[in-house]
Structure 1
Amino acid sequence: MRDGRSISYSDFLTLNEKFPVKVEQTKIADLFKIIDNLITLQQRKLKQLKRLKTAMLQQLFVEKNSKLPILRFKNFNGDWKQCKLGELVESLFQGINTAADKVEYSNNGLPIIQAKNITSGSLDFSGSRKLSVQKYSNYLDKYIPQKGDILFANIGTIGPNVILKDTRQFFIAWNILRIVPQKNINGEFLKITLDLLNSKHYFEKLLTGNATKFVNKNDMRNLPIFFSDPEEQNKISNLFKKLDFLITLQQNKLTQLSTLKKYLLQKMFI
């Protein structure tokens, strides 16, 4: 007998299922073969783009104990310089400690974003709770990031980060570090550098804490950052913008195909 989790072999043989004529079966099977092939193709393209991005991160940036990257854009020859992250930013702010501050959530107000809301280089506001702007007006300057700021997950979930490209307002929670680059620093380049360090598991060496692991803000200030002149930074940043756009586009195609397959499975079978 069926119990909701498994079915015996003898019961399986006695299942009474409905089937269309063979010609229709063939057409349906051929359609899903095409969709499955397209999904496989898009998955390969997505994997190739991600591999290309990883390769570019490794080739276009300076390795430790080196002054020059392996690959370089034409007409750039000077050595890269090294400094600490703290020397390139105006400020670093940890987000609101909602437990210690005993904040009260509300139905209206601005969303408060957690580290889990940073996904694939963007922000997902779904599931976020809200804080009243009037009640927490003293939090506005410190805990509401601005366009161009970098948000870095440094508590619990370590490494995901995003650079803000619009003016939407929201609060940041305790497990996000708000990095405010100096006006003359290319924020996109800085964000890509953080991606590179994360891909090399650099932050794992800085972890501290017991139950919840985190990277200390002072350790973040001391991060070694290698950088070139502003024009080369811009070229590198623009390249990765295009790669990220293509990766997002490819991911959307894959999602659409998977959604289409699910829809047709529901509509073409009884």
Structure 2
Amino acid sequence: MTLKNKEHQDFPVLTNSAQDGIVNQETFFDRKIANNTNDYYIVKPDDFVYNPRISKLAPYGPIRRNKLEITGVMSPLYYVFSLKSNTNKDYLSYYFISSTWYKFMIENGNTGARSDRFAIKDSIFQRMPIMLPIQNEQTKIGKLFNIIDKDISLQQRKLDLLKQLKKGLLQKMFADKAQVQPSLRFKPFSGNWCQNKMGDFIKEFSQKSQIEDEYPTLSSTNKGMENRNGRVDGKSNIGYKIIENGDLVLSPQNLWLGNININKIGVGIVSPSYKTFKFKNGINPDFIKPQLRTKRMLFNYENASTQGASVVRRNLDLKSFLEIKIYKPFDIKEENDISLIFNLLESLVAYHKSKLQYFTKLKKFLLQQMFI
């Protein structure tokens, strides 16, 4: 039985997010949304809440459990219910994260007058059948998903910490116009760094493929280099540019958004629309790589381009790009030591990202297989 806030008690207002579950509304939206909470439903710890708002993550609206360990209130647009004593709360939490109950919603409700909400009568929603194994099996299934969720949270925290560490080291281990010596250095290095131009380090080249599918087709994106695993839109790739490991690749129209990469995938071909460069002797590409997408460099890229016909595209002025200033140490050993640090960070990020993807996929698979 659900209770309404008839006595105007000062409970925090909660909301049901498909991605984050039950959260404090003011924290979630960074501001207070609801002022008059009279007749709002009272939501106790471990109560379940159905939100009829649909989304890509919750095509029939999310059903989530209040894990906040506090009592709050929710809009009367939601449906609040609690468990009977013989049902494991963790089991039911993950049951509703699965898609097992979608069939009932499809057969008994509809999208209603508003396209962003699913319409189902409370009396019908209450009749939803839920298949429950014996209590011991419910407990084991709930524990299994709790372990997987803890692993997902752990990998996400590690990723976030590594990204914060990289951001901090980028600010401290490189010199620039405002600070010609980095504030964090390896011993025994000292002294100012020297100013160079991007053109001092790279030289444009263009070697075209002559044979269809001779090399894998690669693509440069704002997130990194990607293997297309085939032709782009089925088109011929004769005349594409051949690149090798360590080559610099950028999109002339999207450089200002950070579409610039150093190829680490291996020999491949890229669209003729890309600009391709080789590094000259005397510079370690791995020293340049961490700096390519810093805020300072993005600002420089924007200044090295002009507005195109489309508001989302700018056209690279190659001469201005080659004039961008880069600072480097006089001692190649300091340059290599810095490169090793950022290579290690990149490897750790890739490792924990792959583990996060593994546990996320495992959870998705088990959600599909362990409920009926």
- Give the alignment's TM-score, normalised by structure 2: 0.60
**Deviation readout 1:62-104 (Å, 9 max, x if unpaired):** 13232100101101112101121112222266x99xxxxxxxx
Number of corresponding residues: 251
Query: 336, 340, 344: which one pairs with 1:238?
Result: 340
> Partner of 2:156 in structure 1?
43
Contact 1:112 1:173 in 2 (8 A): no
Higher RCO, Cα 8 Å, sep 6+: 1
Partner Cα separation in structure 1 for residue 281 and residue 142 of structure 2? 58
**Deviation readout 1:172-212 (Å, 9 max, x if unpaired):** 341x3212111221111122222335676443444422302
Query: 6, 16, 25: which one pairs with 2:138?
Result: 25
Query: 103, 112, 125: which one pairs with 1:12?
Result: 125
> Partner of 2:172 in structure 1?
59
> Partner of 1:124 in structure 2?
227
Contact 2:202 2:279 in 1 (8 A): yes
Larger displacement relative to structure 2 (178-187 or 239-248): 178-187
Query: 229, 248, 266: which one pairs with 2:350?
Result: 248
Contact 1:110 1:169 in 2 (8 A): yes
Contact 1:39 1:258 in 2 (8 A): yes
1:106-255 residue pairs with structure 2 within 5 A?
108-116=213-221, 119=223, 121-126=224-229, 128-129=231-232, 136=239, 143-156=241-254, 158-165=257-264, 167-174=266-273, 176-197=274-295, 201-208=299-306, 209-211=308-310, 212-228=313-329, 229-255=331-357
Contact 1:144 1:172 in 2 (8 A): no
User: Unpaired runs of 5+ in structure 1?
Assistant: 97-104
What's the CA shift for 1:253? 0.7
Q: Counterpart of 2:118 in structure 1: which amino acid? A: S
Secondary structure at the residue paired with 2:326?
A: strand
Between the aligned residues of both structures, percent identity stands at: 31
Indicate how the Cα distance of structure 1 residues 221 and 49 shifts in structure 2: closer, same or farther if over 3 A, else same: same
**Deviation readout 1:97-117 (Å, 9 max, x if unpaired):** xxxxxxxx97x444443433x
> Partner of 1:82 in structure 2?
195
Partner Cα separation in structure 1 for residue 295 and residue 282 of structure 2? 22
Partner Cα separation in structure 2 for residue 194 and residue 184 of structure 1? 18
Q: Counterpart of 1:219 in structure 2: which amino acid? A: S
What's the CA shift for 1:230? 1.3
Indicate how the Cα distance of structure 1 residues 253 and 259 shifts in structure 2: closer, same or farther if over 3 A, else same: same
User: Unpaired runs of 5+ in structure 2?
Assistant: 1-107, 112-116
Aligned: 1:91 with 2:204:
yes
Q: Counterpart of 1:115 in structure 2: which amino acid? A: S
RMSD: 2.8
